[in-house]
Structure formats: C-alpha cells, structure tokens
Amino acid sequence: MTRKKSFTQAGVALVAGCLPIAIGVVLPESAEAATFTGTYVFGDSLSDDGNLFDLTRGLIPPSPFYAQRFSNGPVWVEYLAQRLNTPLFNFAYGGATSGQANVVNPLIQLFNATVLLPFGQTPVPLAPGVQTEVNGFLASSPPLDSQALYILFAGANDYLGGGIADPTIPVANLTSAITALAGAGARNILVPNLPDLGKVPGTLGTENSQPLTGLTLAHNAFLAQSLLGLQSTLGPQVNLIPLDLYSLVATVTNNPTAFGFTNATDSCVSPPPLQALTSVPPVIPTICSNPDQYVFWDDIHPTTAAHAQVANYAFSTLEAEAVPEPSALAGLVVAGGFFGFTVWRRKQQQKANSFVATIANPQVATCLTNVAADRS
C-alpha cells in the first residue's frame, strides 16, 4: 500500500481541509489514495447490514419497516466497501454498546421467555457488544490482513440505552478495541466520532436533547484526545483514521437541500416500529412517500440515502488530497478536544452552541458539502 502521507495525519476533531484559516493548519502536498484488500466492520445498528436480523430470526429489526437493517436499504459501510472495491466483512450488531452489553438483549430475553421456550423452541442467542465482536473476531481469526481497512464505530447506545453518562467509559472501550486490533496486525483503522445525539428525531425537543448534545461533545472531545495519544503509542506503522461524522451530520441538517434532502428533522417511518409493534395494543407505523428526501428513517437511524452521503464523505476522507501534519493535528485536537470536554464538565451550553455554530459557519458548511456530495 503506497501513500505519500500517512492517514494518521487526517484531522481528529474536525475535517482539516474545511477548518477556518484562523486555526492555522498548514496543509502539505497531496496524498495518494490507498488500496485496501478488505473492509472489516465492528459497531452497532448504524453499521449492521443484517447481523441482528439474522440472529433474531427476523424479529429485529421488524419487516416490512426495515430492509433487514435499521434503515430502508444499504448502510454506509456497504456503500463504502463498494466504493473501495473491497469485500465486506461485517461483525456489527444493532444495539451494541462500546463494551460487552447490547441494549436489544432485554427484548431478546423477553421473546425467548414468552414465545420460544414455552413452545420448546430454541432460544435466540444474546447479541454482542462491540468489545465482544472484536474479541470474538480476534479469537477465531489468523493474523490480520495488514492491507485491509478496519472500521470501529460505536458509543451511541451507551448513552441512548446503556445508562452511561461518563464518556470516558465508551472511549476507553474503543481505545481498548483499537489497541487489540492493532496488536493483532491491523494497520488502517477508521474511527468515526458521534453525530449529535440530542438532535435526532427521537430526542430533538425533549428534555434529553441538551444533555445528550453535551455528552456527544464530551465523547467526541475525549475520543479526539485519546486517538492522538494512542497514535503516539502505536507508532507510525498504524494509521488511525478519524472520521468527523459530527460535522458532516451538522452540515447536512443545517443545509439539507444541498444534499438532496427536504426533511432533516422528522423520521420517515413513524411511530418507531419497535416501540409501535410492542405497544399494547400494537400500532402499525406509517411510512412516508418520499424516503430519499428524508435524512432520518426512524427516530434515530438514517435513511439509506443519508447513509450514502456518509459513505461518500468517508471515501473522500480516505482519498483526501490534503492532510495536516501531526504537529498541526496536535494543536487542533487540543483546541477542539478540550473545548468540547469543558462544555460537558461545566455544562456551558453557550459554549456548546458556539462550537456548533463554528462547525456550521458558511465556509465550513460549503467545504463539507462539497466533500460529501462530490461523488453523489
């Protein structure tokens, strides 16, 4: 695999090429795109391409409201693997937390106890968390392909259903998983941060919106710091590739028409199918007539059209023609990372709003729009 500049030099807290000039990042000469031999994925419902559906024998996510994924079609890692022209090895399970727990397991246990076991049927196995995904993969795999791309994306379920309110816990889990993969031979590891969990349809306008935004900022800040420190520990032979999903989603929701969307606040299918179908009495959800114009499929998950935009953005990140030097990256992470962490610790919502406003300023938004929509 040849490249003029290491992917580790990609921005951790923000997309380097889209940063305000005031930050003072100096961009080097262009970098060559990498050629990967495979794409390996560990994560949750944002990356699951049907694993939980198969595990639960079609129970979760329920058809016909989902296409065996938590969306109405392929998810971003499927699109990305296609763009990279690599085979996809997907170990992500919907509901996975960054640790060993899975927030869907209580529903699986209820299904086993009330439907399967009383009639002598084999119970459905419990779903794994991301650490379990990674550990199981490493236990059953030969030395890893050093030319492949490994994607590790988790944390949302820790905050949305896992009862975690301390971002150091999920980030420590992710750091542990990254270290394990690198120790087994992985050399290219893509690590997205979280989109704003306080601004998805299921949380927007609720009492949980502001706290979840704060947790998102804190998580992303701490993740940025941790990736920088981990990169120093692992050395230049390992490429940690940050993906600033927070900035992309903020840009899309602030300017949806630039990406071909007309609705960035509501869900296409409503009410949420799992909630509706398990209510008493059950409620049949309705589906919008124009899903490709919606950013969100349900109360949390993107439509396949939005997933395609994420894949475009990830591909552009991997193919980036300009990346900052590590020294510039260090200054950037300190500036952005500690700012987000301070927001969380001190609950300074005004600073949080300022941070979001910086991401969404016209110059940054235009740049991110061009990057993500370039190949749509």
Mean per-residue pLDDT over the chain, rounded: 81
CA 50 to chain centre: 17
Strand 263-267, strand 239-243: pairing: unpaired
Please give the average per-residue pLDDT across 30-34, as a whole number. Answer: 43
Please give the average per-residue pLDDT across 21-46, as a whole number. Answer: 62
Confidence of residue 148 (pLDDT cuts 50, 70, 90): very high
Please give the average per-residue pLDDT across 199-228, as a whole number. Answer: 97
Residues 6+ apart with CB under 8 A from 125: 55, 108
What pLDDT does 367 receive?
Answer: 41
What pLDDT does 275 receive?
Answer: 83
Confidence of residue 219 (pLDDT cuts 50, 70, 90): very high
- Whole-angstrom Cα distance, residue 66 to residue 272? 11
Residue 180 scores a pLDDT above 70: yes
Confidence of residue 276 (pLDDT cuts 50, 70, 90): confident
Strand 39-43, strand 188-192: pairing: unpaired
Helix (H) or strand (E) holding 252: helix 245-254
Residue percentage of the chain with pLDDT more than 70: 76
Burial class (CB within 10 angstroms; exposed 0-12, middle 13-18, buried 19+) of 270: middle
More confident residue, 326 or 197: 197
Residue 366 scores a pLDDT above 60: no
Please write the tens of the pLDDT for every residue from 321-332: 234 434 333 433
Confidence of residue 277 (pLDDT cuts 50, 70, 90): confident
Please give the average per-residue pLDDT across 77-104, as a whole number. Answer: 97
Question: 319 and 32 in contact (C-beta within 8 Å)?
Answer: no
Intra-chain end-to-end CA distance of the chain, in Å: 26
- Structure tokens of 8? 């580790």
Residue 40 scores a pLDDT above 80: yes
What pLDDT does 279 receive?
Answer: 80
Residue 342 scores a pLDDT above 80: no
Rounded to the nearest 10 degrees, the angle between the axes of helix 130-140 and helix 168-183 is 10
What pLDDT does 286 receive?
Answer: 94
Question: 259 and 369 in contact (C-beta within 8 Å)?
Answer: yes
- Whole-angstrom Cα distance, residue 368 to residue 346? 29
Lowest-confidence region among 101-105, 138-142, 273-277, 359-363: 359-363
Confidence of residue 37 (pLDDT cuts 50, 70, 90): very high
- Whole-angstrom Cα distance, residue 217 to residue 22? 21
More confident residue, 18 or 217: 217
Confidence of residue 25 (pLDDT cuts 50, 70, 90): very low
Domain architecture of the chain: domains with CATH:
7-19+34-373 (3.40.50.1110)
From the list 55, 17, 97, the residue with the least C-alpha distance to 323 is 17
Confidence of residue 335 (pLDDT cuts 50, 70, 90): very low
